[in-house]
């Protein structure tokens, strides 16, 4: 909706658009979404083709630099990432400062923010080689930080990254490996996780990406901006939804698989009760990422020996919602988060790590947008207006008269 706001000392016309439903904040070459048709493309390439043929590292290059890399470019990029996976020993001490049951998301955002203190000489947002280096450092170190946050929470020692491994393989080993035992990465798990990261890699002006751009518009450095994005992702209406879906499905399972009571609460709009993993600001059709995840879920869950029970509940819930008047009327379809949690759980990740996995996946998108924003001559500091609704001028009232 648009409202007129009378602004003292100003031109007087303000577009009021809570949640920015119809307000564009920038031009962007990175990602195209047609929400009505259920289309998603990165740099013009359909998400389905990237999910099938690309890798997360290659897709990261595509998002950040705009083109698919040639062989040499990919080798160099991969090599750079592999060489930057280690954390400064002093940064590792950070993890001791958090409570043992610390949620890994704030640990991740704090550690990413702290990275800027370790690389103070490489923070100039307009120095491209420095921005390249910061981008690589983030892509390489965020999976290491994420794995350490997990290890810390279960009281296990940190492993050093193995730079002969690819990004996803390294992350799996750092997460699930033990110092004295060899860890063989399951190639099917690595491939599935790599594909899930591709699906999460960008989604134009979502809440966390807009946050990265907003913070960066003040010319704050890349680490500071990405740390802010991680915090935005933490919320249950955004990246936190993948964890919330699992909690919801477990609740239904523990109620003997009966979803009626839950659905009734959703439809009655009881505060805070929503069908998690459903609905999207932009998609008014099936989220193409959700379709890919759903088609992959059963194979990988069965291979890993996870129970199908929860997947069956999820599919029944989807089937119900797709034919129920409430959801049909509002064009609510499964979004990317509806099925991912079930796969992450089968892979052995605890629920708290689900949103961290989303953050690893979304990282190249955040980096690409920050860089596009910094390079764009139209960028101005993000500074929305408001329609003031408080009291007009009042006279100060002394304490004895209140
Ligand atoms: N369950 C039940 N009702 C819903 C849901 C849902 N998941 N999502 C939207 N609705 C209803 C709203 O109550 C509203 O109904 P009304 O018109 O009668 O008032 C209508 O659908 C429109 O919803 P809004 O909240 O206005 O839609 P908005 O675009 O602001 O929100 C959002 C989008 C946040 C994704 C919302 O659909 C939601 O909360 N979904 C559940 C959380 C979730 O899955 N988030 C992940 C998003 S995707 C991502 O981050 C990868």
Write out pLDDT tens, residues 38-81.
999 999 999 999 999 999 999 999 999 999 999 999 999 999 99
Is the CB–ligand 1 distance for residue 335 below 6 Å? Answer: yes
- What is the pLDDT, as a whole number, of residue 1? 41
- What is the pLDDT, as a whole number, of residue 257? 77
- What is the pLDDT, as a whole number, of residue 8? 47
Is the CB–ligand 1 distance for residue 279 below 6 Å? Answer: yes
84 classed as catalytic: no
Residues 169, 386: contact at Cβ < 8 Å? no
Residue 20 structure tokens: 């920015």
Among 194, 280, 287, 369, the active-site one is: 280
Quick check: 190 pLDDT over 90? Answer: yes
Is the CB–ligand 1 distance for residue 277 below 6 Å? Answer: yes
First to last CA, the chain: 39
Ligand 1: centre distance to CA 67 (Å) = 34
Per-residue model confidence as pLDDT tens digits over 275-333: 999 999 999 999 999 999 998 998 899 898 877 888 999 999 999 999 999 999 999 99
278 Cα nearest atom in ligand 1: 7
207 Cα nearest atom in ligand 1: 50
Residues 2, 17: contact at Cβ < 8 Å? yes
Among 194, 202, 287, 337, the active-site one is: 337
* Backbone angles phi and psi of 22, in degrees to 5: -125, 15
Cα-only R_g, the chain:
22
19 Cα nearest atom in ligand 1: 30
ipTM of the complex: 0.94
Instruction: Encode 334-350: b = buried (16+ Cβ within 10 Å), e = exposed.
Output: bbbbbbbbbbbbbbebe
Residues 361, 193: contact at Cβ < 8 Å? no
**In angstroms, rounded to a whole number, what is the distance separating the alpha carbons of residues 106 and 90?**
18
Residue 235 structure tokens: 């919320």
Ligand 1: centre distance to CA 269 (Å) = 11
Identify which of 398, 300, 286 has the alpha carbon closest to the alpha carbon of residue 349. 300
Residues 203, 197: contact at Cβ < 8 Å? no
pTM as predicted: 0.93
Ligand 1: centre distance to CA 281 (Å) = 7
Is the CB–ligand 1 distance for residue 293 below 6 Å? Answer: no
Identify which of 108, 107, 133, 110 has the alpha carbon closest to the alpha carbon of residue 120. 133
**In angstroms, rounded to a whole number, what is the distance separating the alpha carbons of residues 349 and 77?**
28
Per-residue model confidence as pLDDT tens digits over 333-351: 999 989 999 999 999 999 9
Tokens 């899930």 correspond to: 196
Across residues 122-131, what is the average pLDDT? 93
Across residues 100-120, what is the average pLDDT? 95
DSSP, res 278: B
Ligand 1: centre distance to CA 271 (Å) = 13
- What is the pLDDT, as a whole number, of residue 357? 98
Quick check: 9 pLDDT over 50? Answer: no
β 45-46/39-42 pair status = antiparallel
280 classed as catalytic: yes
Ligand 1: centre distance to CA 205 (Å) = 17
**In angstroms, rounded to a whole number, what is the distance separating the alpha carbons of residues 360 and 143?**
6
Across residues 198-221, what is the average pLDDT? 98
Q: Look at the alpha carbons of 273, 278, 281, 285 in this order and tell me if their dihedral is positive or negative.
A: negative
Which residue's CA is the nearest one to ligand 1's atom 47? 238
Which of the four pLDDT bands, split at 50, 70 and 90, describes residue 10?
A: low
Which of the four pLDDT bands, split at 50, 70 and 90, describes residue 11?
A: low
DSSP, res 179: T
**In angstroms, rounded to a whole number, what is the distance separating the alpha carbons of residues 97 and 189?**
32
Lowest-confidence region among 6-10, 48-52, 299-303, 394-398: 6-10
Which residue's CA is the nearest one to ligand 1's atom 39? 237
Residue 343 structure tokens: 């796969």
Is the CB–ligand 1 distance for residue 365 below 6 Å? Answer: no
Is the CB–ligand 1 distance for residue 238 below 6 Å? Answer: yes
Helix segments in 155-287, DSSP class H? 167-176, 187-200, 207-216, 222-233, 241-254, 260-267
Per-chain mean pLDDT for the chain = 93
């Amino acid at each position: 909706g648009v409202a007129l706001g009378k602004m003292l000392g100003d031109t007087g016309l303000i577009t009021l658009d809570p949640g920015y439903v119809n307000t564009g904040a920038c031009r962007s070459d990175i990602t195209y979404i047609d929400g009505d048709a259920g289309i998603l493309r990165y740099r013009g390439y359909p998400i389905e083709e990237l999910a099938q043929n690309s890798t997360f590292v290659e897709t990261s290059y595509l998002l950040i630099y705009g083109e698919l890399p040639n062989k040499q470019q990919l080798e160099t990029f991969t090599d750079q990432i592999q060489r930057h996976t280690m954390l400064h020993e002093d940064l590792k001490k950070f993890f001791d400062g958090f409570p043992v049951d610390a949620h890994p998301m704030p640990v991740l955002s704090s550690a990413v923010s702290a990275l800027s203190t370790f690389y103070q000489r490489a923070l100039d947002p307009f120095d491209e080689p420095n921005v390249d280096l910061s981008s690589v450092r983030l892509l390489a170190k965020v999976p290491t930080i994420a794995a350490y946050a997990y290890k810390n929470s279960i009281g296990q020692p940190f492993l050093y990254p193995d730079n002969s491994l690819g990004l996803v393989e390294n992350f799996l080993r750092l997460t699930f490996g033990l110092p004295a035992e060899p860890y063989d990465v399951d190639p099917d798990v690595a491939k599935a996780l790599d594909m899930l990261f591709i699906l999460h890699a960008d989604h134009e002006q979502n809440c966390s990406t807009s946050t990265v751009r907003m913070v960066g518009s003040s010319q704050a450095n890349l680490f500071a901006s990405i740390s802010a994005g991680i915090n935005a992702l933490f919320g249950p209406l955004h990246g936190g939804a993948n964890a919330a879906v699992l909690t919801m499905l477990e609740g239904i399972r523990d109620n003997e698989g009966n979803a009626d009571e839950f659905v009734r609460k959703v439809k009655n709009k009881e505060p805070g009760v929503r069908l998690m993993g459903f609905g999207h600001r932009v998609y008014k059709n099936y989220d193409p990422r959700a379709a890919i995840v759903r088609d992959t879920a059963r194979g990988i869950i069965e291979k890993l020996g996870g129970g199908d029970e929860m997947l069956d509940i999820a599919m029944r819930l989807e089937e119900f919602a797709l034919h129920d008047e409430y959801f049909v009327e509002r064009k609510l379809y499964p979004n990317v988060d509806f099925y991912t949690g079930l796969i992450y759980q089968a892979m052995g990740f605890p629920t708290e790590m689900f949103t961290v996995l989303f953050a690893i996946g979304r990282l190249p998108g955040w980096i690409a947008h920050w860089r596009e924003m910094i390079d764009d001559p139209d960028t101005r500091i993000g500074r929305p207006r408001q329609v003031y609704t408080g009291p007009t001028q009042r006279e100060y009232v002394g304490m004895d008269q209140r």
